Structures are given as structure tokens and as C-alpha cells.
Structure 1
Amino acid sequence: MTEDQKIENVIIIGSGPAGLTSAIYTSRANLEPLMIEGEEAGGQLMTTTEVENFPGFDHGITGPDLISVMRKQAERFGTRFITRNVTKVDFSQRPFKVWVGEKLYLAKSIIISTGASAKYLGLPSEKQYANRGVSACATCDGAFFRNQEIAVVGGGDTAMEEAQFLTRFASKVYLIHRRDHFRASKIMAERAMKNPKVEVIWNTEVTEVLGDGKSMTGAKIRNIVEGGEKTLPVTGLFLAIGHKPNTDLFKGMLDMNETGYLVTQPNTTYTNVPGVFAAGDVQDHVYRQAITAAGTGCMAAIDAERWLEAQASH
């Protein structure tokens, strides 16, 4: 570290609606934020087609378009962007250290908005047929499966929602769950099970994705209770088995819950390290919506701004 190295007021790690909203607010407060937005900039919205529940867009907007508008807004107020991944951080002392490859950046405060990623089953064949039949986003990919038979894996509200949504396109939707009852709310489960196009397969797991090398042709399933495998002739497999927060970078430095979500102090975005704030799906496993992420992004910016002010007056 050279003596004259610039110390940023705030570095935002991650993008998406949380990071971009915090960038808009901190840049309007003249904090000149530096956003290290990551190579998969924009987050989960980049894989969603129609966003119809974000207030202000009465005709809906695509995920990438919503991100693009937010990013332009942040840029207009002076946010600087680095489209690479943060490789290492050190929050043990101030200024905080953030590395992008070999390059070191220093900051007085940090806002973390690294989001969460959909979970996969972990089968090699599933990787092979990713985006060629296997998907973790029904709203993104459902339309490609018109009049085909497909399967959804999961037992929570998301699985019910996705199965229900996919019946708009598919001729049949198998709902595969490894237990004999759903975790989903009663109303969502009933709605899915009442749909004539949905068939539930209980106590079952997917063991392999079958294909011809180009695209998926079926799935091997195994009954956990009775044993025995069979093949389902499905051309699509949608995973709805939860999300994993992108927090590996912060292990051992920041408090997390048992599933790895960053823990923030109630009604704030403060982590356990003063000057480090967290917003969006990286700390929210309950709502996980674009609008709630944007809301906490605003909170993080205001928290950081006030915290920096208090430090300066000491």
C-alpha cells in the first residue's frame, strides 16, 4: 500500500437493485461511491424476463431493463463502476481493504450487496444440460417449453408458484418432492395440486438428467422410500430448492446465520463490524424481492452516510 493511495468514502460490493439503490443515494450525497459490481453484474434480475411487481412500471419491465435504468441513474450522479469480482477483503481494521485480483482498494465504509444464487442439485448431468433443459428460473425460461412435459423439483412456495406458472406453457408438469408433504403454505399447495396439468410425485429425488448431448430428453428419478429408479420423459427440469447467499468472501469476518446469510442489526443494515453494511438478498432470506432489496439499499446508504458523518466529527 502506497502512502498516497486514495481512500474511498464507500465501496459497494455487488450490484443488483440493493447495490444500485445504495449507489444512487450515496452518490447524491456526494460520497462518490465506487461500485465493484462483479462479473455477473445486475444479479438475479438479469435472468428474469418480466418484472410486473416493481412499482412505477405499469406495463411491467424486463429484469435487465430495470437494472439498466437503475445503473444509468447511479452513473448520472457520479458512481464509478468496476465490472470485476472482489477476490478478497480485510475488515479487521480501517481503512477497510478490498482486492480485485492483485489490485487493492481502500475504503472508510463498505456496503455489501452480493445477493444470493439459486441452489442446484449438484449432479454432473445437471451442469451439462444447464440452459438446455435445466433451469432455476421458471419465469425466465417457461415459454421455451410450450406443449412439452416438464418437471419441477421442490416443496416450498416457490416450487408451487413455478409449477403453477409453467402450466401456462407445458402440457404437463410433474412436481417432484423428496418428502411426503410440502413445506409450502396450504393455499399455494392446494392451488398447485388442484391444477389438472400438475402431477405430484412424492418421496422422490432426481438422480440424473438424461439427454442426447444437445438437449435434455428425460430425468431419472428414484423413490426414496421404496427404492427403484424410473425414467420420466421430460424435456425440462426446473429447480426450486432454495437459494444460497453469496457470502463466502466474508466467512470468519462477519456474523452469518446457519445458512450463510449476513446478520444485520434489527431495523438497520449494520453488520457486526462498524462501518460495514449489508443490503438486499445477501441479508434477506424472507422477502427476496427487487423492491425490498432496493429498500434496504436505500437504508444502507443512509446508515453509511450518517456513520461516516459521526466518524468525521470525532
Structure 2
Amino acid sequence: MADRYDLVIVGGGPAGLTAAIYGARARMKTLLIEKGRTGGQAASTEEVENYPGAGRTTGPALMQQFRAHAESLGATIVRADVAALELDRPIKTIRTRKGDEYEARAVILAPGAEPRMLGVKGEGRFRGKGVSYCATCDADFYTDLDVVVVGNGDAAVEEAIYLTKFASSVTLICIHPEGTMDANKAAQERLFATPKIKVIWQSVVEEIQGDEIVTGVLLRNLATGEQTVLPCDGVFIFVGTVPRTEFLKGTGVELDGRGYIIADPDTMATSIDGVYVAGDARRKWLRQIVTAAADGAIAACAAEKFLAEEEQVNRDLLEPEEPVLAVFWSPAVPLSIEVLRQAEQVVAGLGGQMRLARIDCYKSARTANRLGVSDVPAIMLFHKGIPLATLTEDFNHLAEWVEGHIPART
């Protein structure tokens, strides 16, 4: 029998770990599944200096703090590779490649992204033999050697600076004209102040060359078209990311043309009820540790609210054997407060033959939308989970309306 959780999180980067912190703190039974070491790409970033309150730290150290925090609150973390998901049911099923199976009432997808390849000749051949996508992982292999960094965003600049602790020289290949980079200004200032780093502007790598290992790169100047060979011992590539969402195809989760998960930016809700997304796999503008953490917090809170509303619907509307008079009201609509008072009097007058359910549409907008209620006040009559009638006006004759629609006692 599969283990059942309130919340299962797929992915253990900063987004998934933050979701686990918030989920466990909300007293949800929370499981996080991560196929590698927890921390995701953040765990392979040596220098982190823009996470609020942390000062200058390392990615591995910060992610270890995230994990310890989640586990201290009761979250369970397991290492496994998710092979299949069934998400379009009230109880979702997650299966791993080892054959383990988990059930969840809500799921947060935080699979992250992986480095994008350049797609040039020699890249695949020399991967692991001079071509790398992780300075933290491989920098020490290039002690006192000459390396090239391809890219000009935050990751490329930060990793180029880190590589100077090991390499004899670091040459950064920037696609833009001189003085133009995509990295933040603070990172650029540090880059230009680092003597070991040289920038080659308005150029691209055409080929990675070598025999058994990398010996150089063929560059092309975009302004002149001139090609030159730059000797080097290693190439570090930081040109963006690709979402790890292949395993979601066929699950019903909506993806954009690039494979990123489409979600409501306010709640992180995906196209499937009870399924949320957080982190770099989500379609968004900024991908940083702090935004991943924000996504995780929002997704977990939205999942908690979803589960609470589901419990209310089941408890108050669908499970009772006797008829239920559901009043959809809002404290911001004075008429709805008066209608709620009338409904309370009608139900009290029936001497236990009917239950009253109060649905606050300010707090439970999703429940109202799910039941087709767009305006308040509104009243619905349920019997054994089936909606029998709806009243949206003429509330002065509520008692007569209820009498005309209440099922006959058997």
C-alpha cells in the first residue's frame, strides 16, 4: 500500500525546500522527493551574496540550512527519481523508478532546470574532458590552467570570478558589444576588478577543439566575421537553462513552447486542481534563489488553502445525509450578511431536518467558482452531495423557496 501524504513536493532545490518548510510548519504531512543532492543548481553555486540576511555565503551552505530547517519542522526528504505521476484525481499518485509509490492530496512540482548546451561541434565529445557546466564541481581540476567561460549573465560572471581561485587565467566570451552584459551591475564591477579575468567581446564559440581533452576554442567575431583559435585547457558554459519537465508530458500539466510550466502567478496553481509549481521550471522572468524560495512559500500556502477548502466542501456539502442549505456570503457585501441571518432562521425553524453551510466567498473564492457561484449572496440546496437548486435573488421568500425544494422525507 502506498504511503499517503497531505503534500508531496517533487524537487529539492530552494523552491522545493522552502515549500517543505511551509508545508511542514502548517502541520501538513509533507514529503519531498529529490533525485540528486538537495539544493539543486543553488548547491553548485560557490558564492551567494544576494540572499537577504545571509550576507556572503556559499550555495551548498545555504541549501544545507534550508534542508535542516525543513527536517526540523517534520518534513520527510527521500532520494528517488520520479518516473510517473497521476495527477488528475483527488488523490494523486507519484511513482519512482525504484518502484516506490506515494499518494498525495496536493502536489508541488519543483523539478528545476538544467544548463543549456551551446550545441557546437566538440561540446558533446569533450563533456567531462574539458567541457563543464559547473564551476563548483570542477574548478579544482583546472588549478594553474587556462579556462574559458561562455556566457555573460549572473551565473557566468559569478562562476568566472570563482574560477580565478584555481585557474591561472579566465577568459569570458561575451556575445554583446564591449561594455554590455546581462549580469547585474554589482557582479560586473567585481568581474572587471578581477585581474585574472579577460573579456572577449561580441564573439561566439564556433567549435571546441582538442584530441583526448580540450586544447582550445574556435571563436568568431560577430562584427568582423574573423575566426581565431584561443588555446585553453577547459570550457565552462553558462548560457541559460532548460526546464526539467520531460517527465510531465502526458500528465495534463500545461507547458509552454519551451517546456516551462504555466501557472497562476498569484497562487502557483497549474492547469490541474491541487497541483502547484515553484522554482526555475515555472514560466517567469527572474530565476534566483530568492524568487525560487518565494514560489515555494506561495505554492505551499496555496496548497494548504486548497486542502482546507476541499475538506470544507466534503464535510459541509457532500457528506451529510440530510439536506444542506449552503449560503455563499461575504463580509464585504451587507446584503449577504442579512441573507445569511435569514437562512439561519429558516434552518433553525426546521428542527434539525436541514444543515446550514456558510461559505465565505472572500476566503473561499475557489470553492464558489468551482460550484458556479459568481456573485454573492447566493444560496444552493444540496442533498447527499447533489446540488438540487440555486437561488440568487428574491431572498425575501427564502422560507417558501426552501419548502418548495427540500426533498420529501422517506
TM-score interval, normalised by the smaller of the two chains: 0.7 to 0.9
Name 1:114's counterpart in structure 2.
111
Q: How does the TM-score come out when normalised to structure 2?
A: 0.64
Name 1:150's counterpart in structure 2.
147
CA shift, 1:219, in A, is 2.3
Q: Distance in 1 between matches of 2:153 and 2:63?
A: 28
The answer on 1:289 being equivalent to 2:285 is: no
Name 1:248's counterpart in structure 2.
246
Q: In structure 1, list runs of 5 or more residues that go unmatched.
A: none
CA RMSD of aligned residues (A): 3.4
Name 1:280's counterpart in structure 2.
279
Name 2:307's counterpart in structure 1.
308
Aligned pairs for 1:37-186 within 5 A: 37-58=34-55, 60-101=56-97, 102-122=99-119, 125-127=122-124, 129-138=126-135, 145=142, 148-154=145-151, 156=153, 158-159=155-156, 170-171=168-169, 173-175=171-173, 177=175, 184-185=181-182
Deviation per residue, 1:59-89 (Å, 9 max, x gap): x332222222221221122212220110111
Pair 7,124 (structure 1): closer, same or farther in 2 beyond 3 Å: farther
The answer on 1:237 being equivalent to 2:235 is: yes
Higher relative contact order (CA 8 A, sep 6+): 1
Q: In structure 2, list runs of 5 or more residues that go unmatched.
A: 314-410
Q: Is the radius of gyration larger for structure 1 or structure 2?
A: 2
Name 1:264's counterpart in structure 2.
263
Deviation per residue, 1:103-135 (Å, 9 max, x gap): 332211001111111112246843454455322
Q: Distance in 1 between matches of 2:183 and 2:21?
A: 40
AA partner of residue 274 (structure 1): D
AA partner of residue 256 (structure 1): L
Pair 6,194 (structure 1): closer, same or farther in 2 beyond 3 Å: closer
Report SS of the residue matched to 2:82.
coil
Report SS of the residue matched to 1:50.
coil
AA partner of residue 42 (structure 1): G
CA contact (8 A) 1:268 1:300 kept: yes
Pair 120,185 (structure 1): closer, same or farther in 2 beyond 3 Å: closer
AA partner of residue 80 (structure 1): T
Q: Distance in 1 between matches of 2:182 and 2:106?
A: 40
Pair 40,149 (structure 1): closer, same or farther in 2 beyond 3 Å: same
Q: Distance in 1 between matches of 2:58 and 2:193?
A: 30
CA contact (8 A) 1:163 1:198 kept: no
Q: Distance in 1 between matches of 2:19 and 2:173?
A: 39
Tell me the percent identity.
Answer: 33
CA contact (8 A) 1:218 1:232 kept: yes
CA contact (8 A) 2:149 2:171 kept: yes
CA contact (8 A) 1:14 1:37 kept: yes
Deviation per residue, 1:262-314 (Å, 9 max, x gap): 11113221111110011111115422211221121111111100110000011
CA shift, 1:237, in A, is 1.2
Paired residues, number: 307
Report SS of the residue matched to 1:126.
coil
AA partner of residue 67 (structure 2): R
Name 2:215's counterpart in structure 1.
217
Q: How does the TM-score come out when normalised to structure 1?
A: 0.81
